[in-house]
């Protein structure tokens, strides 16, 4: 339900979207100045002194914002000519190499040259260094290497170029390239071999297979064997990952098997780096046989796709929410594979309810691997009742005495700890204890989060920030207090409780740079960090051998979220984060702090009972008509004027109910009803499976067209999100 232009903008690297600048030139044939008004004459006069003017320069001359009508009149009167200058954003990377001129390739001329340069000591040293480099490397010699080895300045090398002894030439190279293959594929265990054969057999019957393997069961090794077979047959492989943090570890693992056949594509790469991947794939180069990427990599120009692996297929990060096109990378991958007659493998330790439902309906093949690699036991999960701990005064900050003991034991054994808290910053709410006022974002209906490191209040929706006030903005009392806690507060508390331990934090604030993830993951892997505190990005498929303890600091935050998927996602998140513990030989431990240890989801997490969770969730979805039994279409309206968006949503609600009847929910205001100064109203259409998709799409399009033809509502933003989950 979006336009082709929006798809093109998402699919092409921005460097391909050419930009141009309008240049205004003097028309030499024009002579009659009397037909010009004051503004036109000013431009005409400026062109007498300067033959070309840019639009920005004309704005300065006339001191007006809109100068295009003036330029248009000059064009019609024949005073000026227009020229469009196109800017190409992509600049290829060129490396300069140096070589001897052809005439000095024979010994006679070379000896004459060395005799001639015997007085120019530094120049002859450069030539001798050139020969020693040529003898040792047997490769073309980079200008930079020659400078470094000879210690010569640019002027000496330029003198040799001017004398036509050396010549410089350039070779275009990719900005990112991986080393050649170094390791053979790992030998699979008997269990893994059986599952690999099962997957290949199921591919004969099904185009899509769901691979349900518990955490640390060795799914990546099975993927590697499948990839090897596909690239040996001359086809391409797409390996989809939900999180950029994950690509760091997966790249190093797959690179050791496939070397320079891998290309990586995600938003942390620069525009030029992404253009090179795009071009390599378009020209079917060997270095783009395996594409490793986040959700946007489904839009690359594949020509011979053989296999798509969607790792951690349950992840919400695969869904593109804003801007358009709003697609789910997993579902888009299945459509893409169908276009290429390729196969899709969906891998997860906690499959989404939709994928598991499709497997149960025999729409997808299904393979289950319920043993960890090396027969390591799944971690021992313990629920810590913090309601009871608070009552008995056994809490130290946000840590129960039990969790502190477990961390101490791990640190004594020189083992590492991961702590999960799904909220960044120091504290989500700052409140005055005198009058109860909490600082709010001026642009959004949400309280500001306190970040202690920068001593500022920040909105996580629009980015607004200001310094932390010393007194309450309402009553001016110095009684501001924080409520709730985020990763930053946990990090500070840990440094107080365990001063000897090295503590680090991994969240959106600490991983902003291009290599932000890489630095933290590498430091943790090389055991420079003892305790790692983090948000969701910690839970996704990362593999650390020395982690024996995982702590979830507040499970109730996840469970009490206003979303029909809250319980499913809580189960997935806790099982995934638990799976980071005890991945090598020793059995891991997991401590989950909660006010309600008897909650059904927490009980299912402790026993790793996926089937029970799935059946409970499916029964609820049957009762209340939610996916996978219906299609969900969410329509969002946004406008600065609350009354306008309110009236528009009422009109739209009536129109939709006339066509979809009781299947329409709303209009209603979401939990956060204003973001970036735009008021929000939402409507939800639950589309039964038996209803025609084509017909429903046409009805919604017609209603949208009618809505936008009403002058009063034309300025209201109308957003359609199909399968909004």
Residue 418 contacts residue 581 (beta carbons within 8 Å): yes
pLDDT digits (tens, 9 = 90+) for 321-351: 888 899 999 999 999 999 999 999 999 999 9
Relative to beta strand 678-688, strand 674-675 is antiparallel
Per-residue model confidence (pLDDT) at position 541: 59
Q: In the β-sheet with 531-534, what is the strand arrangement from edge to edge? A: 380-385, 589-594, 547-552, 416-420, 531-534, 503-506
Q: How confident is the model at residue 88 (pLDDT cuts 50, 70, 90)?
A: low
Query: What is the residue-averaged pLDDT of the chain?
Result: 86
Q: Does residue 68 surpass a pLDDT of 90?
A: no
Task: Determine the pLDDT at residue 155.
Answer: 82
pLDDT at 49 over 90: no
Kindly state the tokens that stand for 268: 């942390």
Q: Which pLDDT belongs to residue 215?
A: 81
Give tens-digit pLDDT for 559-603. Answer: 888 888 999 999 998 888 888 887 667 788 999 999 999 999 999
Instruction: Taking residues 394-421, report their average pLDDT.
Output: 90
Average pLDDT for residues 229-248, to the nearest whole number? Answer: 85
Phi and psi for 679 in degrees, rounded to 5? -80, 145
Mean pLDDT value of segment 484-508: 88
- Residue 658 predicted with pLDDT over 90: yes
A 10 A CB-CB count for 513 gives: 10
CA distances from 269 to 275, 296, 315, 320 (A): 10, 12, 22, 18
Q: Check residue 330 and give its pLDDT.
A: 94
Query: Smallest Cα–Cα separation from 545: which of 590, 588, 608?
Result: 588
Q: Hey, CA dihedral for 616, 622, 624, 628, is it positive or negative?
A: positive
Question: Which of 319, 252, 257 is CA-nearest to residue 526?
Answer: 252
- What CA–CA distance (Å, rounded) separates 652 from 667? 8
Among 127-141, 175-189, 331-345, the range scoring the smallest mean pLDDT is 175-189
How much is the pLDDT for 180? 67
The pLDDT, as a whole number, for residue 513 is: 67
Query: pLDDT at position 177, please?
Result: 67
Q: What is the mean pLDDT of residues 645-649?
A: 95
Strand partners, 97: 142, 169
Mean pLDDT of 366-393: 86
For residues 119-140, give the mean pLDDT.
Answer: 78
107 vs 440, residue with greater confidence: 440
465-479 average pLDDT score? 86
- Count the neighbouring beta carbons within 10 Å of the beta carbon of residue 445: 16
Tokens 């024009």 correspond to what residue? Answer: 30
What is the reported pLDDT for 60? 87
The listed CATH number (3.40.1190.20, 3.40.50.300, 3.40.718.10, 3.40.190.10) that belongs to domain 380-424+498-619: 3.40.50.300
- pLDDT number for residue 137: 72
Residue 181 has pLDDT above 70, yes or no: no
Least confident of 247-261, 566-580, 691-705: 247-261
The dotted CATH code for 190-372 is 3.40.50.300
The SS3 assignment for 3 reads coil
pLDDT greater than 90 at residue 664: yes
Give pLDDT, residue 305: 93
DSSP state letters, 591-658: EEEES-TT-HHHHHHHHT-HHHHHHHHHHHHHHHT-TTSEEEEEEEEEES-HHHHHHHHHHHHHHHHH
Instruction: Identify the pLDDT of residue 144.
Output: 82
Domain ranges of the chain: 19-87, 93-173, 190-372, 380-424+498-619, 427-484, 630-722
Name which of 171-175, 506-510, 658-662 the model is least confident about.
171-175
Name the residue with higher pLDDT: 304 or 244: 304
Burial status of residue 298 (CB atoms within 10 A of its CB: 0-12, 13-18, 19 or more): buried
Backbone dihedral region of 562: left (phi > 0), alpha (psi from -120 to 50 degrees) or beta?
beta
Report the distance separating Cα 346 and Cα 232, nearest Å. 21
Q: What is the pLDDT of residues 272-303, one digit of tens each?
A: 888 888 888 888 888 889 999 889 899 999 99
Residue 90 pLDDT > 70 = no
Q: Vertex 499, ends 494 and 502: CA angle to 5°? A: 75
pLDDT at 150 over 70: yes
Asked whether the predicted pLDDT for residue 245 surpasses 70, the reply is: no
* Contact by Cβ (8 Å): 464, 447: no
Report the alpha-carbon distance of residue 666 to residue 653 in Å, rounded. 7
Say if CB 351 and CB 208 are below 8 A apart: no
Given a cut of 70, whether residue 464 has pLDDT beyond it is yes
% of the chain at pLDDT higher than 90? 34
| 106 pLDDT higher than 80 | no
d(CA 121, CA 99): 20
Which pLDDT does position 583 carry in this prediction? 66
More confident residue, 146 or 249: 146
Cβ 123 vs Cβ 159: under 8 Å: yes
> Looking at the domain that runs over 19-87, which CATH code has it been given?
1.10.10
Mean pLDDT of 416-420: 90
d(CA 352, CA 256): 31
Confirm whether 380-424+498-619 and 630-722 share one CATH topology.
no
Topology classification of domain 630-722: Alpha-Beta Plaits (3.30.70)
């Amino acid at each position: 339900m979006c336009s082709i232009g929006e798809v093109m903008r998402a699919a092409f690297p921005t460097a391909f979207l050419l930009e141009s600048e309008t240049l205004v030139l003097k028309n030499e044939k024009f002579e009659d100045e009397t037909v010009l008004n004051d503004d036109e004459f000013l431009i005409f006069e400026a062109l007498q002194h300067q033959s070309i003017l840019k639009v920005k320069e004309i704005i300065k001359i006339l001191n007006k914002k809109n100068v295009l009508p003036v330029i248009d009149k000059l064009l019609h009167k024949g005073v000026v000519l227009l020229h469009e200058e196109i800017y190409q954003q992509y600049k290829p990377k060129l490396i300069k190499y140096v070589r001897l001129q052809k005439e000095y390739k024979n010994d006679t001329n070379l000896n004459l040259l060395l005799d001639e340069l015997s007085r120019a000591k530094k120049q002859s040293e450069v030539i001798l260094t050139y020969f020693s480099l040529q003898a040792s490397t047997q490769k073309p010699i980079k200008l930079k290497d020659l400078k470094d080895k000879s210690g010569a300045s640019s002027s000496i090398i330029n003198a040799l170029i001017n004398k036509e002894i050396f010549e410089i030439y350039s070779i275009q190279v990719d900005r990112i390239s991986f080393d050649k293959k170094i390791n053979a594929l790992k030998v699979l265990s008997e269990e893994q071999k059986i599952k690999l054969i099962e997957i290949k057999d199921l591919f004969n019957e099904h185009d899509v297979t769901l691979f349900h393997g518990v955490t640390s069961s060795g799914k990546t090794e099975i993927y590697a064997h499948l990839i090897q077979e596909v690239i040996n047959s001359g086809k391409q492989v797409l390996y989809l990952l939900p999180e950029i943090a994950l690509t760091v570890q997966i790249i190093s693992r797959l690179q050791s098997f496939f070397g320079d056949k891998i290309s990586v594509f995600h938003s942390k790469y620069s525009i030029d780096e992404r253009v090179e991947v795009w071009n390599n794939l378009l020209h079917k180069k060997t270095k783009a046989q395996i594409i490793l990427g986040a959700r946007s990599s489904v839009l690359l120009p594949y020509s011979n796709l053989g296999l798509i692996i969607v790792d951690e297929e349950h992840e919400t990060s695969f869904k593109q929410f804003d801007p358009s096109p709003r697609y789910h990378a997993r579902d888009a991958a299945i459509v893409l594979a169908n276009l290429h007659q390729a196969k899709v493998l969906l891998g997860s330790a906690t499959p989404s309810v939709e994928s598991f439902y499709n497997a149960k309906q025999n729409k997808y093949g299904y393979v289950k691997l319920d043993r960890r690699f090396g027969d390591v036991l799944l971690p021992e999960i313990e629920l810590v009742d913090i309601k009871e701990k608070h009552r008995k005064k056994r809490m130290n900050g946000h840590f129960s005495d039990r969790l502190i003991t477990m961390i101490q034991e791990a640190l004594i054994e020189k083992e590492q700890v991961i702590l999960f808290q799904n909220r960044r910053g120091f504290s989500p709410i700052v409140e005055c204890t005198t009058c109860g006022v909490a600082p709010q974002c001026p642009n959004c209906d949400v309280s500001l989060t306190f970040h202690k490191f920068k001593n500022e209040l920040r909105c996580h929706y629009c980015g607004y920030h200001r310094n932390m006030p010393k007194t309450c903005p309402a009553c001016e009392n110095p009684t501001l207090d924080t409520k709730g806690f985020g990763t930053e507060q946990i990090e500070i508390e840990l440094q107080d409780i365990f001063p000897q331990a090295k503590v680090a934090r991994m969240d959106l604030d600490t991983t902003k740079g291009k290599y932000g993830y890489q630095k933290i993951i590498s430091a943790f892997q090389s055991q420079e960090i003892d305790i790692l505190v983090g948000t969701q990005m910690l839970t996704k498929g990362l593999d650390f051998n020395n982690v024996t303890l995982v702590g979830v600091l507040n499970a109730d935050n996840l469970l009490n979220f206003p979303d029909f998927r809250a319980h499913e996602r809580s189960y997935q998140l806790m099982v995934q984060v638990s799976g980071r513990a005890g991945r090598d030989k020793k059995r891991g431990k997991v401590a989950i702090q909660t006010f309600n240890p008897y909650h059904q989801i927490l009980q299912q997490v402790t026993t790793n009972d996926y089937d029970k969770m799935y059946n409970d969730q499916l029964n609820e979805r049957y009762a209340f008509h939610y996916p996978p039994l219906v299609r969900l279409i969410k329509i969002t309206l946004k406008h600065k004027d609350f009354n306008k968006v309110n009236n528009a949503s009422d009109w739209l609600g009536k129109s939709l109910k006339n066509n979809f009847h009781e299947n329409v929910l709303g209009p209603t205001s979401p939990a956060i009803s204003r973001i970036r100064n735009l008021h929000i109203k939402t409507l939800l259409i639950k589309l039964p499976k038996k209803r025609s998709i084509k017909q429903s799409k046409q009805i919604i399009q017609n209603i949208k067209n009618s809505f936008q033809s009403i002058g009063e509502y034309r300025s209201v933003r109308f957003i359609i999100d199909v399968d909004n989950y």
